[in-house]
Structure 1
Amino acid sequence: MDYRVNDFGQPIGLPVDLPLPRPFPTHAVLNGRHVTLVPMAEDHAEDFYEVFDDPAGWTYLGDEQPFADLNDARARVAAFVPSRDPLFYTALVEGRAVGFLSLLRINPGAASIEVGFIHLSPALQGTVAATEAQYLLMRHVFDDLGYRRYEWKCDALNAPSRSAALRLGFTFEGIFRQALVYKGRNRDTAWFSVIDGEWPALRARFERWLDPANFDADGRQKARLNDL
């Protein structure tokens, strides 16, 4: 840990050479080769109702339950749309809404923000588009908004989420025991982060992996993201 010593011989943190507070994020369209992130809109509800067809996908999504029917999907999406924390984005692939993710716990004064409330359809999970969606939002936070810290938190029992965080370049910071109660059960929360000093190298790694030259004619990756 880097620090300096004050006039009383006490260790203190280094000065933050960054204008604070940082801008509160506003919805921006984020374009990639494989996916586009757009502000969530009410007309995405029908696609969500169709693609979120696996009830198991809702297991770790807070108190949210699978959509009961299309009207339920419409009502819940309508409630998400005006929210500013979480700030919801829809992932569009070939014009179809196939998942959503959000920025939340937004702290402009500390330049800290979390990515969460992530729900990807089975067809999107494990694809290039899913990785690119995470890259686009991370790039927006660091390059466009100038934040210092980007967080990922999940149920400590959610092994796929923990693996995804590590693959995307987050650093594991520990377990907050008995941090939450949701759906009537305990949640120990696993914390991960990326900080601004790590971002340039991480951005380069994403860009090398997403380069079309990294994929063969059948769309198979030549080098894994972790290998880069």
Structure 2
Amino acid sequence: MPTLNLYGQQLGREITDWVKKSPPEKVTLHGHYCIVCPLSVDHAEDLYHEWQSIDDDRDWTYLSDSKPTTKEQCYQYLRELSADKEKLYFSVKDKETGSVHGFFCINKIDLHNGSFAISEINWAPPMKRTRLSTESLFLIINYFMETLKYRRCEWRTNCLNTPAISSAERIGFKQEGVLREKKVTKGHSEDIALFSITAIDWMETAEVLKAWLRKENFDERGRQIKKISDFRTQ
């Protein structure tokens, strides 16, 4: 709720106990179905085979990087990502099989204002549109919001990347606008759609996702019984 200063000017909601936030650590987070852990070069073995399970590059169209074409390139690619000092990369393991099915990045970490961004989401085919993908993002956002007490999570994606936009909206991100002509990727201009979840949003969104992720909401083949949207309307 806006407040007024001594000049009668409107200010944002007052926060009296704000302190600089702690930097995130390379934590391992356990869910019902997946484990989120720091990206390791060892994960190249699983990811290489999964990336090669389809014989084209359509899953890399909206990513800045290109798909490694050999196992050696895959190892080198993960070696470079895991050594990055500015970004944190996390892998997603299937808790049942122990196989790595994808990774994502945490960047734009702002300790003074308590914000961070999820980016470079790279799901291998077996992970797409599964409870593992949703749970992995739930685990990392909850770590920042509940454990570290951050107040804002961003998700940026190409405006033409309709699957990513649908995923962001499905989880509970709200679109804030479009950053026009923001990037040049692989020789093409990109307009970037900006989404966010705030700490206030997360209080309700987390409960919705927890309800959807309950084991009883899935049949024996792992198919959802109720959609996330069903829990929002209750």
- Output the TM-score relative to the length of structure 2: 0.93
Question: Is residue 2:212 matched to residue 1:213?
Answer: no
- Separation in 2 of the partners of 1:86 and 1:61? 16
- Does the residue aligned with 1:227 lie in a helix, a strand or coil? helix
Which runs of 5 or more structure 2 residues have no equivalent in the other structure? none
- Separation in 2 of the partners of 1:148 and 1:174? 19
Question: Is residue 2:189 matched to residue 1:190?
Answer: no
Aligned 1:111-190 pairs, distance under 5 A: 111-190=114-193
1:58 aligns with 60
The answer as to whether partners of 2:3 and 2:14 remain within 8 angstroms in 1 is no
CA displacement at 1:227 relative to structure 2: 1.4
CA displacement at 1:205 relative to structure 2: 0.6
The AA in structure 2 aligned to 1:58 is: W
Which runs of 5 or more structure 1 residues have no equivalent in the other structure? none
Q: Mark the CA change 1:107 to 1:173 in structure 2 (over 3 Å): closer, same or farther.
A: same
- Does the residue aligned with 2:222 lie in a helix, a strand or coil? coil
- Separation in 1 of the partners of 2:83 and 2:17? 30
1:36-69: CA deviation from partner (whole Å, max 9, x where unpaired): 011111111121111113411111111x011021
Count of aligned positions? 226
Question: Is residue 2:102 matched to residue 1:68?
Answer: no
Aligned-residue RMSD, C-alpha: 1.2
- Does the residue aligned with 1:216 lie in a helix, a strand or coil? coil
Aligned 1:81-120 pairs, distance under 5 A: 81-93=82-94, 94-120=97-123
1:27 aligns with 26
CA displacement at 1:24 relative to structure 2: 0.9
CA displacement at 1:82 relative to structure 2: 2.0
CA displacement at 1:18 relative to structure 2: 4.2
- Does the residue aligned with 1:191 lie in a helix, a strand or coil? strand
- Output the TM-score relative to the length of structure 1: 0.95
1:86-118: CA deviation from partner (whole Å, max 9, x where unpaired): 200011112111100111111111100001111
Question: Is residue 2:12 matched to residue 1:13?
Answer: yes
Report percent identity of matched pairs: 28
The AA in structure 1 aligned to 2:61 is: T
**Structure 1 runs of 4+ off > 4 angstroms?**
none
The answer as to whether partners of 1:42 and 1:74 remain within 8 angstroms in 2 is yes
